[in-house]
Each structure stands twice: as C-alpha cells, then as structure tokens.
C-alpha cells in the first residue's frame, strides 16, 4: 500500500514556476480609490470643471481685433500680441513700451485709444522708434527700405522672392525648383525621399561557361 501511495504522489503535477493559481479569478476592485491616495486625487482633478474667466470690468471683451486678427481677451497684451504672425516676444514688449501700455494688462481691458496706439506702432514700427535690427525685412531688394512684415504679407513676400530667384535662374532658385535644401546642408543622410524603404539587393548570377 505504501508503494501505491508513493506512486500516486509521483503522478501529481507540481505547479510550474511563475504559475499563479488565482490568475483566472477576478477580484472585485473598488470603483473609487481610497481617500487620501494619489489615485483619488487624480480622479478629483479629472472631475473638476474648467474655470470660466470672469472680469470685474463691465467693458471687458473676450475677443480683441487688432490688425485683422482676433486676440484672446483673457491673456495679457504682451503675450496676446505674439499670436500675430511676425511678432516675437521682444517685439511685443517693445511695442507695449513705445505705446506706453503695461504688457501685463489684459487685452480685453484695452480702450479704443490704446488699441489705436498699438496698431499704429505695428503698422509702422520703423517710424515709431523700434530699432532696425528687430525688423524682419531689412534692405528690401526692390525698394532698399527697412520695414517689418506682419500676417499674410510674410507668406506672400516669401513666395514672390522664390519666384524671382527661379526667374533669374540663381542657385537658390535651382535648389528650390529641385526641392533640395538651399543653405548648404549635407544631403547624404538627411532630406532623403522614401527614407524608410530599403533598397532591394540584386542577386549576382554566376555565368556558366
């Protein structure tokens, strides 16, 4: 009998390494994390609704129109001016300084007079006192005048410059027409087309004598 018991024990399957008996069992997890835990705090943050901006100024505007562009009224004017194409952080601060407006003032609280001063500086920054090195169109090839481009004028002028170079057949025009980099970058590893496609290798066929 003892031998039979030992034989039965030998036939019993030993659990494999890494095998978890409770793998198939489903545990009842709580819908909400316990209070005070990080998971509970993250759930509370997700539930919080977005704050609606409210101003004490009765004349506050949520959208301000400057140079054919809508600027958000909830942002300071120094930051909102950067939504204009061609206006950087430094130029926005310089415009506010020349127009004598606090750059931290909300753009929705601006008066009509202040908007007019900002627009005047934006349209003619070279005459308003902005330094020449801050302008983006210095020594125009046609007129030779220093001025600043804003909005859609930047894209239009850039396209005209490329067409002009193609017309007079300069090296820049050739590179634009070929779709290659213009400023002397190397093209061995970058600016390649079909970069992910591998080149099919041709098998060498041995010539039979």
pLDDT for res 41: 64
Burial of 96 (C-beta count, 10 Å sphere; 0-12/13-18/19+): buried
Q: How far is 24 from 30, CA to CA, in rounded Å?
A: 19
Per-chain mean pLDDT for the chain: 80
**Cα separation of 207 and 36, whole Å?**
79
pLDDT digits (tens, 9 = 90+) for 82-125: 999 999 999 999 999 999 999 999 999 999 999 999 999 999 99
Task: Give the pLDDT score at 29.
Answer: 45
Q: What is the pLDDT along the chain (209 residues), one digit of tens a residue?
A: 555 555 555 555 555 555 555 555 555 545 555 666 666 666 656 655 666 666 777 888 889 999 889 999 899 999 999 999 999 999 999 999 999 999 999 999 999 999 999 999 999 998 998 999 999 999 998 889 999 999 899 999 999 999 999 999 999 999 999 999 999 999 988 888 887 766 655 555 555 55
Q: Which two tokens stand for residue 153?
A: 């004028």
Domains by residue range for the chain, with CATH: 63-134 (1.10.8.50), 151-182 (no CATH)
> Cβ–Cβ contacts within 10 Å for residue 92, how many?
22
- Quick check: pTM over 0.75? no
pLDDT for the residue 132: 93
Contact predicate 183/191, CB 8 Å:
no
Question: d(Cα 138, Cα 145) in Å, to the nearest integer?
Answer: 7
Strand partners, 147: 137
Sign of the alpha-carbon dihedral angle for 118, 120, 123, 126: negative
């Amino acid at each position: 009998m003892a031998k039979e018991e030992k034989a039965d024990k030998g036939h019993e399957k030993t659990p494999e390494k890494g095998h978890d008996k409770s793998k198939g069992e489903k545990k009842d997890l709580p819908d909400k994390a316990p209070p005070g835990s990080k998971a509970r705090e993250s759930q509370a943050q997700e539930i919080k609704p977005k704050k609606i901006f409210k101003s004490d100024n009765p004349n506050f505007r949520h959208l301000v129109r400057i140079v054919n562009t809508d600027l958000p009224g909830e942002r300071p004017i120094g930051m909102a001016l950067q939504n204009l194409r061609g206006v950087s952080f430094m130029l926005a601060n310089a415009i506010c300084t020349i127009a004598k407006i606090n750059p931290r003032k909300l753009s929705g609280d601006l008066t009509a007079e202040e908007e007019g001063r900002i627009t005047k500086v934006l349209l003619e920054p070279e005459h308003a006192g902005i330094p020449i090195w801050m302008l983006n169109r210095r020594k125009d090839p046609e007129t030779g005048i220093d001025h600043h481009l804003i909005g859609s004028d930047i894209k239009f002028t850039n396209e005209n410059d490329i067409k002009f170079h193609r017309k007079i057949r300069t090296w820049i025009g050739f590179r634009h027409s070929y779709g290659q980099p213009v400023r002397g970058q190397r093209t061995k590893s970058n600016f390649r087309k079909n970069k992910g496609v591998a080149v099919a290798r041709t098998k060498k066929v041995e010539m039979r004598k």
